[in-house]
Amino acid sequence: MNIAVIGTGYVGLSTGVCLAEIGHHVTCVDTNTEKITMLNQGISPIYEPGLEELLVRNRKAGRLEFTTSHHSGVERADIIIVAVGTPQQSSGEADVSYLIQAMIDIAPLIQKDTLVVIKSTVPVGTNEKVKKMIDHFAPKHVLIDVVSNPEFLRQGSAVHDTLHPDRIVIGCDNESAAVVIKNMYAPLKAPILITNPRSAEMIKYASNAFLATKISFINNIGNLCEAVGADVDSVSMGMGLDQRIGSAFLKSGLGYGGSCFPKDVSALLSTAKEFEVSFRMIEETILINNRQKQLLVKKAIERFESLKDKKIAILGFAFKPETDDMREAPSITIIHSLLKEGAKVIGFDPVATDNAKKLFGNQIIYAQSVEETLTDADAIFLVTEWNEFKKLDWAEIIVKMKQPIIFDGRNCLSEELVRSCEEVEYYPVGKPPIVKKKKS
């Protein structure tokens, strides 16, 4: 099939590259000239494991093209996939202005019967509005169906999730359109659910809100574990072994971040308010998450009393490992709070440092290695659970610190590893601290 993908962010680029990988001819369209130039050079503008390799391979095979021209992208397309951003507004609602502009740009260019697939995360009822807009702007001689096809990708494993999805949701009122989308995804051999557009739109929001609620729940349990002297990791394991609960998203830490959970939870709450449906659970999910991002700073203030002029080493800027994305990352809240307390901040991340520089400028110091970050530090904040942080020889590197004090926001370090250190103060999340003084 000839497929056009509008938007080359995480979702659009991952979708376009992977559809080319399974044999379709894909043209990705974006108005960002710099981004398209990079892509045409075989360079991915985002860090995503495995993505650039597939990008290069499919460009060479002639199955993948990139352009800033909507006309050249749309003219041959049997299917147009729209994957533009729908960021959160100050009100909490999803901003669909990019989607609306995309429709205005592409609808007049469609010259044959086409399927328009909305992959962007949009409020319930948006597909119906898009259909009316397309019918208004598109040539009258063409038949255009609009299909809701929400994505369920995890940043850091977007390629794997695209090629090995848990399920594919198709929301449309036209059975023949659903068949075309099923055929497009046929090589993936994934379970397919066909429903109406509003249900498909709601599935996306309900899924992300449930996972976010699960994270906030275990974080609240973690705080309670600390208070009563229990171990949240053991509690999580005991809960997760129950098949009705499952272990996924049941790890206590610093809360959720990224481009999806925060905005999707807020958007679902906005929809509930619009239709006058009480949703206190979601309100509490957001409150817990916001509080959790301040947890390490609170622990540090309790330990030091004052953070003024303390050198705090931040390990990890990205909101999760295997991505350079810092949208809604806990590190942002943490660093701003540390600076407000008068601390001196130095940080390191394997891939997200450039994005951190855009946010903090010269307010903090950017290290080139973990060792540089730790040298003469009063304390470490472990913020992102990169594997390379977990695999460090901690007994060896903490000797570079002024004081061997670790605040572990992701419970990266095992109790056995911590106790192997000759001297350390270790403050995890959801379990008792380990304070090990050096033998005299």
Please answer whether residues 173 and 148 qualify as being in contact, where contact means their C-beta atoms are separated by less than 8 angstroms: no
Q: What stretch of H or E contains 290?
A: helix 280-292
Sign of CA dihedral 58, 152, 293, 233: negative
Residue 147 and residue 131: Cα distance in Å, rounded?
A: 9
Render the burial of 350-382: b for 16+ CB within 10 Å, e for the rest.
Answer: bebbebbeebbeeebbbbeebeebbbebbbbbb
Rounded to 10 degrees, the C-alpha dihedral 157/32/35/328 comes to -40
Rounded to 10 degrees, the C-alpha dihedral 395/396/399/403 comes to -30
Amino acid at 118: I
Rounded to 10 degrees, the C-alpha dihedral 171/175/179/185 comes to 0
- The rounded Cα 399 to chain-centroid distance in angstroms is 35
Residue 384 and residue 351: Cα distance in Å, rounded?
A: 12
Q: DSSP secondary structure string, 351-378?
A: TTHHHHHHHHGGGSEE-SSHHHHHTT-S
For residue 169, report the phi and psi dihedrals to the nearest 5 degrees: -105, 125
Residue 304 and residue 396: Cα distance in Å, rounded?
A: 24
Please answer whether residues 70 and 106 qualify as being in contact, where contact means their C-beta atoms are separated by less than 8 angstroms: yes
Tell me which residues are annotated as active site: 260
Pairing of strands 25-29, 2-6: parallel
Please answer whether residues 86 and 264 qualify as being in contact, where contact means their C-beta atoms are separated by less than 8 angstroms: no
